[in-house]
Structure 1
Amino acid sequence: MVTVQYAKAFPDIRVNAVEPGYTATDLNGHTGLPTVERGAEIIFRTAVVGPDGPTGGRFAAP
């Protein structure tokens, strides 16, 4: 809900939430499902979204 409210308050800025999931890292003994690269992919795609891209959304790693 905070993401949606920020997106409405700042219409000239793309505001989105990203959830890479329980990613396999040293911190969790590599027990996560997606790799670090796979988790970073959704973060990167959302970070480079253009001015006509989505805003106020939540995106998760597949």
Structure 2
Amino acid sequence: MLQLAKALRSKHLSIFPAPAQLIEFKEALIFAFMAALKASGAVNTLHAVTGASRDSLGGAFFGERSMD
């Protein structure tokens, strides 16, 4: 972590702790992001992360849906 902090500082960037609320709701944020990808037709599950043989567009919408 210290090496990363040094490398970032050399590029005028810094690391700071995430707010507790962000940590508490990170799973909901990720699933909301995956839903947005699904709604736009973009791949939302990467094979390199899941171990699957290919990337996929997973998920389903039920009921009325408005993305306007």
- Would you say same fold, with TM above 0.5? no
Greater helix share, structure number: 2
User: Quick one: higher RCO (CA 8 Å, sep 6+), 1 or 2?
Assistant: 1
- Rg larger in structure: 2
Q: Taking structure 2 as the reference length, what is the TM-score of the superposition?
A: 0.28
